[in-house]
Amino acid sequence: MANRFIAGMDVSFLDEIEQAGGLFYENGIAENCLAIMKGNGVNAIRLRIWNDPPGGMCNLARTAAIAKRVKAQGMSLLLDFHYSDVWADPAHQTKPAAWQHLSFEELGEAVYSYTKGTLEALRAEGALPDMVQVGNEITPGMLWDEGKVDGELNTDSQWSKFASLVQQGIQAVRDTDTSIAVMIHIDRGGDNPSSRSFYDRFEQLGVEFDVIGLSYYPWWHGTLDQLRANLHDLALRYGKPILVVETAYPWTLDGEGKQFIVASEQQLHAGYPASPEGQEQFLADLIRLIKETPGGKGIGFYYWEPCWIPVKKEWSVGHANNWSNLTLFDFEGRKLQGLSLLVNA
């Protein structure tokens, strides 16, 4: 991927969507979702992995099945370790149930062995990832409370513990295959002070990684101008490639009785209506902005869950789909025009 812009998609729900009978259409014809994406310029796929999820999805076996299909399409694979049985994000970094009573030393060993074991299993399936995230949106740390650096635990000693856990994951990746790139992912796309504070800490603590990853959702993370300023500063400050590794934008606010995360005009970015055209323009401007990052350090993006269409009421994650107006397919699985623009990305 070094010489081409990454136009990526996180399709971690695809397995569950297909099992529920979800279909995807281009020009009125039902097609394999990954094939539609590849045909529209997508060249990379991101998959999350949970240790032992109660719903039975996004575990090693199910992730490996989708990863093999990604590789068969000739697309790059980014594997996103949450180090949890459930969502890991700035509000939740819950240790896997099997790790709850481990000592700190044992916890570090578990991170290493789980990371390496997962990668070796994927290698055996011919689906070794090209890039790995050690943690998901780890701005406040991970594996709480041992690796928490939020609130009262935002201390030098806690940062050292957090960094050592991350380094165990990084070492496991390096020991598996040195060609796999390592990303460190936080959620502060438009927040330069917080981004600098985090990556400065990791630099001071000697955490060696390859790629900076940022989430950018305008209703949470500021304007495109703020994202541009942050990308510019981080590129010059650290000299590392940068990915906007999560993003999305709504194509409608008409819920038809559905519950959405983005449900009001007040949540929209100025200048981009919640319409297929507005979504397409947002993506076009985002891509242009990333490519303008100094030194060519803006290497691409991943759109989060573009195919999570509402084919069932309850999902393995324990709640209804609140994302179906942020997809790149409509409620019936028909491709939206925003996906088509990636052909020229």
223 found inside a domain: yes
Partners of 6 in the beta sheet? 300
Please give the average per-residue pLDDT across 311-326, as a whole number.
94
Q: What does pTM read for this prediction? A: 0.97
Please give the average per-residue pLDDT across 222-232, as a whole number.
98
Name the H helices within the chain. 14-19, 33-39, 60-72, 104-124, 156-176, 192-204, 218-221, 224-238, 276-291, 337-340
Average pLDDT of the chain? 97
Confirm if 289 and 224 have CB atoms less than 8 A apart.
yes
Does residue 2 register a pLDDT over 80? no
31 found inside a domain: yes
Supply the pLDDT for residue 344.
Answer: 83
Q: Which of 16, 137, 146, 305 is catalytic?
A: 137
CATH code for position 277: 3.20.20.80
Tokens of 99: 């790790």
Supply the pLDDT for residue 207.
Answer: 98
Does residue 234 register a pLDDT over 60? yes
Tokens of 100: 């709850």
DSSP 132-158: EEESSS-TTBSSBTTTB-SGGG-SHHH
90 found inside a domain: yes
296 found inside a domain: yes
Question: How far is C-alpha 230 from the chain's CA centre?
Answer: 18
Please give the average per-residue pLDDT across 102-123, as a whole number.
98
* Least confident segment among 1-5, 90-94, 104-108, 220-224: 1-5
Please give the average per-residue pLDDT across 137-164, as a whole number.
98
For residue 345, name the pLDDT band (cuts at 50, 70, 90): confident
130 found inside a domain: yes
For residue 14, name the pLDDT band (cuts at 50, 70, 90): very high
105 found inside a domain: yes
Confirm if 334 and 33 have CB atoms less than 8 A apart.
no
23 found inside a domain: yes
Sign, CA torsion 195/249/244/138: positive
Please give the average per-residue pLDDT across 33-48, as a whole number.
98
Supply the pLDDT for residue 3.
Answer: 74
Supply the pLDDT for residue 256.
Answer: 79
Instruction: Give the Cα separation of 162 and 81 in Å (integer).
Output: 15
Instruction: Give the Cα separation of 232 and 22 in Å (integer).
Output: 40
The whole domain housing 292 covers: 6-344
For residue 124, name the pLDDT band (cuts at 50, 70, 90): very high
Q: Is 246 annotated as catalytic?
A: yes
Total domains in the chain come to 1
Q: Which of 16, 26, 246, 305 is catalytic?
A: 246
1 found inside a domain: no
Please state whether beta strands 29-31 and 24-26 pair in parallel, antiparallel, or not at all (unpaired).
antiparallel
